[in-house]
Amino acid sequence: MDDPTPEPSSGPSRRRGAVLEEAILRAAVEELTESGYAGLSMDRVARRAGTNKNAIYRRWPSRAALGVAAYRRLAEVELRPPDTGELRGDVLALLRQINCDLSSSRSDILRGLLAGVGDDPELLTQLREQINQGGAGVWLTVLGRAVARGEVRPEALHPRVATVAVTLLRNEYVTQGITSVTDGVLVEIVDEVYLPLVRARGSTAG
């Protein structure tokens, strides 16, 4: 209750450098997942890490900076492009993977951070990178294979087109909240928007 995880009977062993940094970051990640960014207090993180605020401020200049660092650690997810042999399967697989990822209350944390970061351009950039989830790369890969199979028109191999599906999914979280993003929504995004878009042939007339 009072003793998070210090060395119990080793006397006054004192962590330094990378070890302590790790402990702080882990504590911050835990606080972030439990209480969100609003509940991320420097004192609590310090206590949880078995240290004090000084050690934190020696590494991160502000609460926002610590928050972003912790979030990046928290959101480290590798997005491997699936290969089901068919575009629809690939896209759905990717969307489900990302949706799973977004549902875990991480979107709340992200919302909090986006605001808390305020006008710090450095932190804002770091966060935007996280939001992009690996960028267009994965989508272009999947789409490229579909083009090779003749499933998709070649002009669809364009970052803005390729990422439309995940963009719509992200939008659901912003405008509707977590509750409404069921698997049915994913299917709808794929069947009503994404597939018609990338398959669209002809009618380039203005």
Q: Is 118 in the site for a second copy (CB under 8 A)?
A: yes
Q: 55-71 burial, b if ≥16 CB within 10 A, otherwise e?
A: bbeeebebbbbbbbbbb
16 Cβ contact partners less than 8 Å away, ≥ 6 residues apart = none
Q: Determine contact, residues 54/63, Cβ cutoff 8 Å.
A: no
Residue 77 interacts with which of DNA, a second copy, none, CB < 5 to 8 Å by class: none
Choose which of 55, 93, 136, 193 interacts with DNA (CB under 7 A).
55
Stretch 4-43 residues interacting with DNA (CB under 7 A)? 12-17, 20, 40-43
Distance of alpha carbon 199 from the chain centroid: 29
How many CB atoms are located within 10 Å of the residue 184 CB?
9
Measured CA to CA, the distance from residue 190 to residue 89 in angstroms comes to: 10
Q: Which is nearer to DNA, 40 or 186 (CB)?
A: 40
Choose which of 147, 161, 181, 186 interacts with a second copy (CB under 8 A).
161
Residues found near DNA in the complex (CB under 7 A): 12-17, 20, 40-43, 50-55, 57-58, 62-64
Residues found near a second copy in the complex (CB under 8 A): 36-38, 88, 108, 111-116, 118-119, 124, 128, 131-132, 158, 160-161, 164, 167-168, 170-171, 174-177, 188-189, 192-193, 196-197, 199-204, 206
